[in-house]
């Protein structure tokens, strides 16, 4: 058969987590917590199952959950989304991204992405015949020169994918970035896919610059969120997509055929859990402590830490340790030192090796300290 995705291999997250298991290494590679979620939440799932909510949820998501999401979004961003026509519950952020791209991208459409980029964007664009236009961000700050972005625009530019807080670099978009983006896209029909799955994981009192805060962007944006990150439940694969009614209508045409609807008892549980904001408002502080703890531990190592303003990832340069390729270095780190990480080159389309690896710090403090002990020997 002729591959639709030639050159695409098994994702780096699967590869690294598998190696971590094989070599019994501490797994700071794939982004997921190694501690339990709130037992109140699992009790709510059990209750929903016992109460008999075990059949299909409505196609766009449980109404009570969509209403709770609308309320949460309004509290956070002072903007309204209509639960009936503008909110769709998805099987995680991944399915929301896939569905939005499937609904919008036609062969020949160009999509601008900022690299390093989360690994599902480019292959999904290509699957629907789209062309990826990459803007390469540079360490240590991974900031965007919007004049350079403008140079990527053509008559075929259909969409820009944003991701703030950013995986893998932990950088965030500033108000100036957003204002530059508004100026650039003013009077165009370019759409935005704003991957905001780390919206709550933002540090040092900084404010998340959601596209939802800016009416001119909101009206052209799909916003993607993930309950995996909010509730420490990445394995539940639940999230949602917010978009104006016209865009949501197209989104749902695809959604109804690529999944139809998602896990019903968990939607009941989440609806009953997040309607009490106290259940999640401490999350930035929780992860900020982990970031600070992990950074203080690594300060005693030879790794050079990059800034981390958001997400649960800490990037570090090993350029004064080794000049190996980052893929080779991270494999050696697993085999010889017992710590699994992600080589940041995996987030670029073209070979780009800045000698930087990514650590996930969504882990027990004990896991982080045990990993740091090993990393101090590198």
Q: Which residues bind ligand GLN (CB under 6 A)?
A: 11, 13, 30-31, 167
Complex with ligand GLN: residue 210 or 234, whichever CB lies closer: 234
Helices (H), the chain: 12-22, 39-50, 63-77, 92-104, 121-127, 146-150, 175-185, 215-218, 227-231, 245-258, 264-274, 283-298, 326-332, 365-375
Q: Which residue is nearest to ligand GLN (CB)?
A: 31
Which C-beta is closer to ligand GLN: that of 167 or that of 264? Answer: 167
Q: What is the Cα–Cα distance from 216 to 147, expressed in whole angstroms?
A: 20
Annotate 110-140 with three-state secondary structure. EEEEEECCCCCHHHHHHHCCCEEEEEECCCC
Q: In what order do the strands lie in the sheet with 356-360?
A: 304-305, 313-317, 356-360, 342-343
Q: How far is the CB of 11 from ligand GLN (least distance, A)?
A: 6
Residue 307 beta carbon to ligand GLN: minimum distance, rounded to whole angstroms: 18
CB of 163 to ligand GLN, least distance (A): 11
| Cβ at position 168, least distance to ligand GLN in Å | 7
Report the alpha-carbon distance of residue 13 to residue 331 in Å, rounded.
13
CB of 230 to ligand GLN, least distance (A): 14
Please give the C-alpha separations between residue 338 and each of 20, 151, 333, 376, in angstroms, as whole numbers: 8, 44, 6, 12
> 198 or 280: whose CB is closer to ligand GLN?
198
Tokens of 206: 């900084």
Give, in degrees to the nearest 5, the angle at Cα 335 between 332 and 340. Answer: 80
Residue 93 CB, nearest approach to ligand GLN (Å): 8
Looking at the Cβ atoms of 29 and 221, the one nearer to ligand GLN is 29
Is residue 116 reached through a cis peptide bond, with omega within 30 degrees of 0 on the bond before it? yes
Q: How far is the CB of 62 from ligand GLN (least distance, A)?
A: 24
Residue closer to ligand GLN by CB (options 31, 130) is: 31
Place of tokens 């459409």: 109
| Cβ neighbours for 66, distance < 8 A, ≥ 6 positions apart | 60, 83, 84, 87, 89, 240
State how beta strands 339-340 and 313-317 pair: unpaired
Which of 158/229 has CB closer to ligand GLN?
A: 229
Residue (31 or 61) nearer to ligand GLN, CB = 31
Q: Residue 333 CB, nearest distance to ligand GLN (Å)? A: 16
Between 223 and 344, CB nearer to ligand GLN = 344
């Amino acid at each position: 058969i002729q591959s639709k995705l030639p050159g695409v291999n098994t994702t780096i997250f699967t590869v690294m987590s598998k190696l971590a298991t094989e070599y019994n290494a501490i797994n700071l590679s794939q982004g997921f917590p190694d501690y339990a979620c709130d037992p109140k939440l699992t009790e709510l799932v059990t209750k929903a199952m016992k109460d008999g909510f075990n059949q299909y949820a409505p196609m766009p998501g449980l109404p009570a959950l969509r209403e709770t999401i609308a309320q949460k979004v309004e509290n956070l961003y002072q903007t309204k989304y209509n639960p009936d026509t503008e909110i769709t519950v998805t099987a995680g952020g991944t399915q929301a991204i896939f569905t939005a791209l499937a609904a919008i991208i036609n062969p020949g459409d160009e999509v601008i992405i900022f690299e390093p980029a989360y690994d599902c964007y480019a292959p999904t664009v290509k699957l629907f015949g789209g062309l990826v236009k990459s803007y390469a961000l540079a360490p240590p700050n991974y900031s965007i020169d919007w004049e350079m972005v403008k140079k990527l625009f053509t008559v075929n530019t259909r969409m820009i994918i944003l991701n703030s807080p950013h995986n893998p670099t932990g950088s965030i978009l500033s108000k100036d970035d957003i204002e530059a983006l508004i100026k650039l896209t003013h009077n165009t029909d370019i759409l935005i896919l704003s991957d905001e799955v780390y919206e709550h994981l933002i540090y040092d009192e900084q404010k998340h610059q959601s596209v939802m805060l800016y009416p001119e962007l909101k009206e052209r944006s799909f916003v993607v969120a993930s309950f995996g990150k909010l509730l420490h439940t990445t394995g539940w694969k639940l999230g949602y997509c917010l978009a104006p009614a016209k865009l949501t209508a197209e989104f749902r045409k695809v959604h109804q055929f690529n999944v139809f609807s998602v896990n019903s008892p968990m939607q009941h549980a989440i609806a009953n859990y997040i309607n009490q904001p106290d259940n999640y408002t401490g999350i930035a502080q929780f992860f900020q402590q982990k970031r600070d703890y992990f950074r203080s531990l690594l300060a005693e190592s030879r790794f050079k830490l990059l800034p981390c303003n958001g997400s649960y990832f800490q990037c570090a340069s090993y350029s004064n340790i080794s000049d190996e390729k980052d893929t080779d270095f991270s494999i050696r780190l697993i085999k010889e030192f017992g710590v699994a990480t992600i080589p940041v080159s995996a987030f670029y389309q073209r070979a780009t090796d800045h000698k930087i690896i990514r650590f996930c710090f969504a882990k027990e403090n004990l896991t982080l300290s045990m990993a740091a002990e090993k990393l101090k020997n590198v």
